[in-house]
Amino acid sequence: SADLNPALLPLDWLLGTWESDEPGEGCFTTIKPFHYTETLTFSHVGQPVINFTFNAFHAETKKPLHRECGFIRMQPGANRVAFIIAQNSGLVEIEEGELTAQQLNLQSQALARVSFAREPHVQKISRVIQLRPDGRLEQTVSMATDNQPLMQHLHITYRRQAS
Ligand code: HEM
């Protein structure tokens, strides 16, 4: 397989496949709290780009639910990271933010959706992805909608899968 593009060295800790170690927690004021499992993959083909997929499932029935895929790019010579994301709900987004050590702090910069997307519409997303000292990956996602301020929607931790 291709050598990792040196531009991506600061993000090498993401690469591989990650499985939720215990069910993630979903919440929002307007919905019933829920649990989910999720598999993440981060791969590359030698370009200065990481390809990713996030696939979430119902914790009990294992039915596929939310799915995201996209690309990660880094601004050359800077700590600025961009996620280019498509979601199965009909949402597309650009998130950008800073990489500090092994933590990414991302905010949505642009959001667009299909004309018939379900309401309420998301207006803002912020996300923290970090590698914890215990080797687990942790993701926290907050969102604001048409009628609710920015608050947490998701929290989950993952264990790296042997490749
Ligand atoms: C509900 C957005 C990721 C599961 C919602 C709602 C929105 C939303 C706007 C409706 C809230 C309301 O009615 O006030 C998003 C965004 C995500 C995301 C922007 C990613 C950035 C996920 C993931 C799961 C999930 C990974 C895992 C299974 C649910 C469930 C509900 C919900 C179960 C409640 C039932 C429903 O409305 O379908 N989400 N979501 N979401 N989300 Fe997410």
Q: How far is the CA of 158 from the centre of ligand 1 (A)?
A: 19
Residues with Cβ within 6 A of ligand 1? Answer: 26, 28, 30-31, 34, 36, 56, 65-66, 91, 120, 122, 125, 141, 143, 145, 153-154
What confidence tens digit (pLDDT) does each residue in 37-55 have? 999 999 999 999 999 999 9
Query: What is the Cα–Cα distance from 41 to 83, expressed in whole angstroms?
Result: 14
> Ligand 1 atom 8: the closest Cα is on which residue?
122
What confidence tens digit (pLDDT) does each residue in 49-108 have? 999 999 999 999 999 999 999 999 999 999 999 999 999 999 999 999 999 999 999 999
Q: How far is the CA of 91 from the centre of ligand 1 (A)?
A: 11
- What totals of helices (H) and strands (E) does the chain contain, helices first? 0, 11
DSSP-derived 3-state class of residue 151: strand
pLDDT of 163 over the 80 cut = no
> Ligand 1 atom 25: the closest Cα is on which residue?
66
Q: How far is the CA of 26 from the centre of ligand 1 (A)?
A: 8
CB 92 within 8 A of CB 108: no
Judge: domain 6-160, CATH 2.40.128.20. Answer: yes
Q: How far is the CA of 125 from the centre of ligand 1 (A)?
A: 12
The amino acid occupying position 110 is: A
Name the residue among 52, 41, 75, 50 with its Cα closest to residue 160.
41
ipTM of this complex > 0.95? yes
Residues paired with residue 54 on neighbouring β-strands, in sequence order: 40, 68
pLDDT of 159 over the 90 cut = yes
For 11, phi then psi, to 5°, come to -110, 10
Domain boundaries, given as residue ranges, for the chain: 6-160
Q: How far is the CA of 111 from the centre of ligand 1 (A)?
A: 15
> Ligand 1 atom 33: the closest Cα is on which residue?
34
